[in-house]
């Protein structure tokens, strides 16, 4: 019912639209809806992957590049540049600066410049001023006079009275020939094709377009492509709604099938049982502490007293044996110095030192 409400109501379409719409609906339900569900799952997984893996990985890669790789590359570049300068640049700079340049300057200043100045001043300048310049001036005057009387005057007359009329005649002849060739080319190649296009091709093409292609294209667009596109768009939106409904259903099932029962079990079963166990554990600890204070501690203290008295007796026996074997002054028994159980005085009513377990 939701899919039928989502689709637009029919507007009096023809039977072709009705025949196309049913297969499109079937394809939309069997193909578009699963594709839309898979698309939504892929989008959710891609967003989760971007938040959990790709984003932190990209930030870690950027941090590693900025903090570790880039300083290493810069240091390597600086080291390579320094080694290159030390091995190739500075030796040639030193050779040029401290050997070749001073030698070249000295050779130019003390050898080439004086020799060149002497050759220019005392050889070339006099030869130019007193030899080449007068000879060149005379040869130039002779050539100009000869050319003027032999070429310029006859050439001017020839150009004015012969070449100019012949040139004008050739220009008019060329213009007439070009005009005739252009007219012939138009008559042979332009006008027939222009007439063919104007009176045959253009009317046929115009008629085919106006009465065949344009109506057919409008009919295909209006009665086939537009309804098909509308049905596809509606199916896509319906698939989206169904996908969202499935998602909401899964969320509702998870909430009412897992989360709410688990919460009820925690509140009604786990928490009371835990409270009972905690109360029992606390009561057991209190009982154990009471038993320890009232029974175990006194017994322990009595056992300690007995153990200490036994140790003292053993020590006295060892001392008596040592004195009997090796000799020595008599000694008062140590037990007279020990206090009896539950008393602060020794057996001989003399004050005895504290030897209890607790200080």
- Name the band, by pLDDT with cuts 50, 70 and 90, for residue 342: very low
pLDDT of 229 strictly over 80: yes
For residue 346, list its beta bridge partners.
339
For residue 345, list its beta bridge partners.
351
Per the prediction, the chain carries an average pLDDT of: 78
Query: Hunting for tokens 């377009």 — which residue is that?
Result: 209
Higher pLDDT, residue 34 or 255: 255
Three-state secondary structure call for residue 339: strand
pLDDT of 257 strictly over 70: yes
- Mind listing the pLDDT tens digit for each residue in 272-296? 988 888 888 888 888 888 888 888 7
CB-based contacts of 239: which residues, under 8 Å, 6+ apart? 28, 32, 33, 35, 36, 37
pLDDT of the residue at 225: 81
For residue 339, list its beta bridge partners.
346
- On whether the CB atoms of residues 356 and 338 are closer than 8 A, the answer is no
Q: Six-digit token pair at 40?
A: 């939504």
pLDDT of the residue at 139: 86
- On whether the CB atoms of residues 341 and 302 are closer than 8 A, the answer is yes
Reduced DSSP (H G I as helix, E B as strand, rest coil) percent helix, strand, coil of the chain, to 5:
90, 0, 10
47-84 b/e with 16+ CB inside 10 Å = b? eeeeeeeeeeeeeeeeeeeeeeeeeeeeeeeeeeeeee
Segment holding 336, helix H or strand E = none
- Mind listing the pLDDT tens digit for each residue in 18-37? 555 666 667 666 777 778 88
- Mind listing the pLDDT tens digit for each residue in 86-121? 888 888 888 888 988 888 888 888 888 888 888 888
pLDDT of 194 strictly over 60: yes
pLDDT of the residue at 23: 67
Higher pLDDT, residue 199 or 6: 199
Three-state secondary structure call for residue 348: coil
pLDDT of the residue at 6: 45
- CA atoms within 13 A of residue 157's CA, in its CB half-sphere: 6
The rounded distance, in Å, linking the Cα atoms of 181 and 126 is 68
Under DSSP, the state recorded for 352 is: -
pLDDT of the residue at 317: 66
- On whether the CB atoms of residues 36 and 239 are closer than 8 A, the answer is yes
In degrees and rounded to multiples of 5, residue 345 shows phi and psi of: -120, 155
pLDDT of the residue at 323: 67
The rounded distance, in Å, linking the Cα atoms of 266 and 270 is 5
Instruction: For residues 221-241, give the mean pLDDT.
Output: 82
Portion of the chain with pLDDT greater than 90, in percent: 1
- Mind listing the pLDDT tens digit for each residue in 145-178? 777 777 766 777 777 787 888 888 888 888 888 8
């Amino acid at each position: 019912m939701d899919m039928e409400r989502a689709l637009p109501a029919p507007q009096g379409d023809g039977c072709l639209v009705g025949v196309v719409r049913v297969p499109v609906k079937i394809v939309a339900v069997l193909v578009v809806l699963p594709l839309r569900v898979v698309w939504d799952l892929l989008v959710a997984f891609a967003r989760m992957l971007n938040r959990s893996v790709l984003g932190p990985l990209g930030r870690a890669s950027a941090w590693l590049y900025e903090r570790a790789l880039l300083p290493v590359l810069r240091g390597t570049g600086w080291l390579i540049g320094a080694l290159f300068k030390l091995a190739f640049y500075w030796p040639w700079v030193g050779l040029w600066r401290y050997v070749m340049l001073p030698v070249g300057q000295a050779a130019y200043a003390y050898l080439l410049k004086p020799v060149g100045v002497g050759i220019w001043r005392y050889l070339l300048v006099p030869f130019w001023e007193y030899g080449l310049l007068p000879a060149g001036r005379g040869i130039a005057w002779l050539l100009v006079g000869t050319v003027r009387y032999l070429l310029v005057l006859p050439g001017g007359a020839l150009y004015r009275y012969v070449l100019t009329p012949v040139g004008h005649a050739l220009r008019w002849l060329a213009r007439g020939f070009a005009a005739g060739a252009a007219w012939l080319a138009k008559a042979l190649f332009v006008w027939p094709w222009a007439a063919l296009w104007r009176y045959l091709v253009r009317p046929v093409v115009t008629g085919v377009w106006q009465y065949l292609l344009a109506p057919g294209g409008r009919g295909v667009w209006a009665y086939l492509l537009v309804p098909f596109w509308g049905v596809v768009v509606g199916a896509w939106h319906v698939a989206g709604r169904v996908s969202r409904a499935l998602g909401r259903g899964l969320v509702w099932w998870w909430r009412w099938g897992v989360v709410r029962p688990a919460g009820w079990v925690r509140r009604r079963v786990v928490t009371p049982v835990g409270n009972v166990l905690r109360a029992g554990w606390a009561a057991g600890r209190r009982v154990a502490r009471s038993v320890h204070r009232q029974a175990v501690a006194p017994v322990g203290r009595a056992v300690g007293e007995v153990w200490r008295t036994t140790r003292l007796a053993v020590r006295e026996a060892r001392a008596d044996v040592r004195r009997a074997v090796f000799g020595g002054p008599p000694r008062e028994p140590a037990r007279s110095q020990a206090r009896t159980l539950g008393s602060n005085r020794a057996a001989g009513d003399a004050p005895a030192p504290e030897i209890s377990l607790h200080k």
